[in-house]
Amino acid sequence: MVTTERIVDIDYSDIVVHNIAVTSLTHVQDVNYTQSGFIPTFFNYGDLFVQTAGNEKNFEAMSIPKPREATHIIGDLTGKGPK
């Protein structure tokens, strides 16, 4: 999830165990995505990567819809992203 102030990453490993990580948009250093192959390109999904500063956890969102748009949204909010 992306808000105007932070990024929240929720990972579910099974029904009862999940991991939640939160970072402020001010800690974002870089944001990019990969979308390779015919099927991901045709169905418009890919992987989003957000690099954060210091000891913060880097965020990875795998197989998300419209990764280019997500990258541009985060880049616009932070001023860091692909041009």
Whether 55 has a pLDDT exceeding 70, the answer reads yes
- Which residues fall within 8 angstroms of residue 62, CB to CB, at 6 or more apart? 47
Q: What is the mean pLDDT of residues 43-65?
A: 89
Helix (H, G, I), strand (E, B) or coil at 6: strand
Whether 75 has a pLDDT exceeding 60, the answer reads yes
Going by pLDDT thresholds of 50, 70 and 90, the confidence category of residue 68 is very high
Mean per-residue pLDDT over the chain, rounded: 88
In whole angstroms, what is the distance from residue 59 CA to residue 77 CA?
Answer: 16
pLDDT at residue 83 in the model = 56
Q: pTM higher than 0.85 for the full model?
A: no
Task: Give the domain ranges of the chain.
Answer: 6-78
